[in-house]
Structure 1
Amino acid sequence: MKTQTIQTVLLLICINLMLFSCQDISTHNESPYEGPPKDHIISVDRAQEMYDAYSQRRVPILQKYEDSIAADGSKFTPTRYAEYDLKTIKQYIAYIEHEAKEANVEIQTLRFYLSNYPASDKFPNGDVVKFPKRNSFFVVPTMAYEGKNVGFYLEDIDGVYTALPINRNGLRGKDENKMRDEPQGNVNEAGFFISAAPTLQGGGTTSIIFNEGNITPPPAGANDFGDDN
Structure 2
Amino acid sequence: MKTSQNWVITLSTILFLVVASCAEKPKKDKEEPKTVAHEDDEMVKAPDGIITLSEAKELCENYETRRAKAILEFEMNQNPEKEFIPTQFIEFDLKTMKKYIKYVEKKARKAKVKPDSLRIYLGNYGREGKDPNRNTVFVVPTAKIDGEYGGFYIGGDGTAKLIRNYWPKNGDGNQGVQQKSEAGFFPTLKSMPYQDQSLILNDGHNGPPPNTDFN
Structure 1 and Structure 2 fold alike (TM over 0.5): yes
What is the Cα deviation at residue 118 of structure 1? 1.5
Amino acid at match of 1:168: N
> Cα distance 1:148–1:223, how it changes in 2: closer, same or farther (>3 A)?
same
Does residue 168 (structure 1) correspond to residue 157 (structure 2)? The answer is no
Does residue 207 (structure 1) correspond to residue 198 (structure 2)? The answer is yes
Q: What is aligned with 2:6?
A: none
User: Gaps spanning 5+ residues in structure 2: where?
Assistant: 1-29
What SS does the aligned partner of 1:144 have?
A: strand
Q: What is aligned with 1:223?
A: 212
* 1:141–1:208 Cα contact (<8 Å) kept: yes
* 2:187–2:198 Cα contact (<8 Å) kept: no
User: Gaps spanning 5+ residues in structure 1: where?
Assistant: 1-11, 17-22, 123-128, 174-189
Q: What is aligned with 1:180?
A: none
CA distance in 2, matches of 1:97, 1:74: 43
Runs of 4+ in 1 over 6 A off after TM superposition: 190-193, 195-198
Q: Which of 91, 106, 115 in structure 2 is aligned with 1:98?
A: 106
CA distance in 2, matches of 1:49, 1:169: 39
CA distance in 2, matches of 1:196, 1:168: 16
Q: What is aligned with 1:142?
A: 142
Q: What is aligned with 1:49?
A: 58
Q: What is aligned with 1:194?
A: 180
Output the TM-score relative to the length of structure 2: 0.68
What is the Cα deviation at residue 97 of structure 1? 0.4
CA distance in 1, matches of 2:156, 2:121: 26
> Cα distance 1:147–1:172, how it changes in 2: closer, same or farther (>3 A)?
farther
CA RMSD of aligned residues (A): 3.5
CA distance in 1, matches of 2:124, 2:67: 14
* 1:111–1:141 Cα contact (<8 Å) kept: yes
Amino acid at match of 1:194: K
Is 145-154 or 49-58 further displaced after alignment?
145-154
Output the TM-score relative to the length of structure 1: 0.64
What SS does the aligned partner of 2:99 have?
A: helix
* 1:167–1:191 Cα contact (<8 Å) kept: no
What SS does the aligned partner of 2:45 have?
A: coil
CA distance in 2, matches of 1:63, 1:77: 7
CA distance in 1, matches of 2:198, 2:71: 30
* 1:108–1:149 Cα contact (<8 Å) kept: no
Aligned residues: 171
Q: What is aligned with 1:155?
A: 155
What is the Cα deviation at residue 84 of structure 1? 1.6
What SS does the aligned partner of 2:127 have?
A: coil
What SS does the aligned partner of 2:116 have?
A: coil
Please give the per-residue CA displacement for 1:36-93, whole angstroms capped at 9, x wherever unaligned.
112x1000000001100011111111011111111x6212210111112111111001
Is 144-153 or 109-118 further displaced after alignment?
144-153
Please give the per-residue CA displacement for 1:108-143, whole angstroms capped at 9, x wherever unaligned.
2100101011111x5xxxxxx1x1111111000001
* 1:168–1:191 Cα contact (<8 Å) kept: no
Larger Rg: 2
* 2:167–2:176 Cα contact (<8 Å) kept: no
